[in-house]
Amino acid sequence: MHVRSLPEAAPSVTADALVVPVFSDGALDGAAAEIDATLGGVLAGVLRDAEITGKAGEMSLVHAAEQPFHKVLLLGLGDRGKFLPSALNKYAGAAVRHLGKRNAKTIAIALPKEAAVDVARCASFVAEGAYAATIDTTTYRTEPDKPVVTETVLVLAGGLDADAVAAGVARGSVVGEAVNFARLMALTPGNDMTPTHLANRAKELAADAGLAYTMLDEDAMAAKGMGALLGVSRGSDEPATLSVMTYTGDPSSHEVLALVGKGLTFDSGGISIKPAENMHEMKYDMSGGAGVIATLWAIGKLKPKCNVIGVIPSSENLPGPRAMKPGDVLRAMNGKTIEVLNTDAEGRLILADAISYAKELGATRIIDCATLTGACVVALGHAASGAMSNDEHFVTRFLDVVGDVAERYWRLPLYEDYSTQIKSEIADLKNTGGRAGGAETAAAFLKAFAGDTPWIHLDIAGTAYLDGESAHQAKGPTGTPVRAFVAFVEDLAKRGGPPAATNGAAKVAAGA
């Protein structure tokens, strides 16, 4: 599918279907008013008869065979006073899924007048949503059910700044493709998405985006002392990999943001094996790694002025004959020793070595993302990802930037109590602090490897994949946190990095 912008107004566009917005106040303005006049009041009749009320996601299809657009989809955007640009992600996604499954190959989408608040950003969300709408979970079916057949989506500038619309569509198309790259990687089953396959995908996308790429194999990891990552990998015949994608957008700067993503291509729990029910979903345990790979590709295409590295540790966690056992002690790359109390708390182990390696590579700031804990799902459900940090300025800036990116993040505390919970009697750390505060103790474990480097941990266990289909997107992987990462990198390029936290600010961030 291809998304492009058009400068013309809605009534003159040629397409299989035209999408126009309406808010819950029922007022027809902008493109909706123009089309209503063209059709002799048909859209006003839809609202008058209460077929829809303008509530977000409501839609009504009107046929207009005599017009250059053959159908009109009136689609609700909800409360006009609460409009946010990110709402256009769902608006466009719902339109493309609905019409694309009904043989509309060319779809024109009109922007609401409210898009004038930030034209480029709004157009970007339309493009992102259109791309995300095309993916279904039926990737291995020989005959997929009702695929989206749309080939072209036209974003209409109407009376808005046509150059800004074009710039937004170009940016959103890159982000939308990146989101889909991450989702398709996560959808791939473990027999086809081994650590080697994930590393090869990172290599392919790095080459396509003009990025440098290196990979550590298990011999190189052993030479670096990565005993935590290798400990997780011991139970599998598939070798572990650690991929590094490097984007150098500002050679004059020593600032380097590292994005670190958990790449567990399948997690059985190891010796502490998981229940059989829903274990198949553990192919999604590499969603963080997929998100980092896709983000680096997008950054390479968008070319912001900053330096970013993506670090993706990958392995399987299986109960093979050489698998680590509860009670084993591992030594991580930074020399810290770890008592393994639960082999199913493996994600933090591979991230520990990856964070240490990111620091060795010169990272001045680190954000990791991982489907790390069920405890975060209990705390936040599937509505938001948890965010924890050792640096007040860094996490505040991040949460401010990603406040409206079509992904949600919620700050969780990182009190010193949680670090106390993971102290081991026989080693420096233990890999679980028990059930209480499970998301926070996992973050406290990772904090021990971030050290003084400003760092944020994102627990995406509840948001990386969803069980239910929505109007705008298929069930399964969501592509979280690609949108947030791209937005934050772009903000760093525009405004520079946040100042280093003072000791006092750092304590506030840690909850001390």
Does position 272 have pLDDT exceeding 50, yes or no? yes
pTM: 0.96
**Residue span of the structural domain in which 362 resides:** 188-466
Percent of the chain residues topping a pLDDT of 70: 97
Given a contact cutoff of 8 angstroms between Cβ atoms, the answer to whether 193 and 43 are in contact is no
Stated as kind and residue range, the H or E segment containing 56 is none
- Scan for tokens 């859209």, then name that residue: 43
User: Does 509 fall in a domain?
Assistant: no
* Alpha-carbon span 470 to 466, nearest angstrom: 10
**Residues ≥6 apart with Cβ < 8 Å to 391:** 454, 455, 456, 500, 501, 505, 506, 509
Does position 500 have pLDDT exceeding 70, yes or no? no
Does position 287 have pLDDT exceeding 60, yes or no? yes
* Alpha-carbon span 477 to 429, nearest angstrom: 32
pLDDT score, position 508: 43
For 206-239, write each residue's pLDDT tens digit: 999 999 999 999 999 999 999 999 999 999 999 9
Indicate which residues carry an active-site annotation. 274, 348
Given a contact cutoff of 8 angstroms between Cβ atoms, the answer to whether 312 and 195 are in contact is no
* Alpha-carbon span 67 to 265, nearest angstrom: 50
Mean pLDDT in residue range 383-403: 98
Given a contact cutoff of 8 angstroms between Cβ atoms, the answer to whether 92 and 130 are in contact is yes
Does position 156 have pLDDT exceeding 50, yes or no? yes
User: Does 483 fall in a domain?
Assistant: no
DSSP letter string over 62-122?
EE-TTSSB-EEEEEE---GGG--TTHHHHHHHHHHHHHHTTT-SEEEEEPPGGGGGSHHHH
Same domain, residue pair 297 and 442: yes
Give Cα 314 distance to the centre of its chain: 18
Domain C-terminal end among 137, 160, 179: 179
Q: Which residue has the higher pLDDT, 501 or 294?
A: 294
**What residues form DSSP beta bridges with 317?**
267
Same domain, residue pair 304 and 347: yes
Q: How far apart are the first and last CA of the chain?
A: 51
pLDDT score, position 233: 98
Does position 380 have pLDDT exceeding 90, yes or no? yes
Cis peptide before 481 (omega within 30 of 0): yes
Other CB atoms within 10 A of residue 344 CB: 18
Take residue 123 and report the two structure tokens written for it: 């157009």
pLDDT score, position 468: 86
Given a contact cutoff of 8 angstroms between Cβ atoms, the answer to whether 264 and 270 are in contact is no
Domain C-terminal end among 137, 161, 179: 179
Same domain, residue pair 153 and 214: no
Same domain, residue pair 450 and 317: yes
Same domain, residue pair 264 and 143: no
| CA quadruple 402, 184, 126, 34: dihedral sign | negative
Instruction: Say what the alpha-carbon torsion angle 3, 9, 10, 14 is, to the nearest 10 degrees.
Output: -60
Phi-psi region of 428 (alpha: psi -120 to 50; beta: other; left: phi over 0): alpha
Same domain, residue pair 121 and 205: no
How many domains would you assign to the chain? Answer: 2
Mean pLDDT in residue range 140-152: 89
Does position 344 have pLDDT exceeding 50, yes or no? yes
Same domain, residue pair 215 and 128: no
Average pLDDT in the chain: 95
Phi-psi region of 7 (alpha: psi -120 to 50; beta: other; left: phi over 0): alpha
Mean pLDDT in residue range 103-109: 98
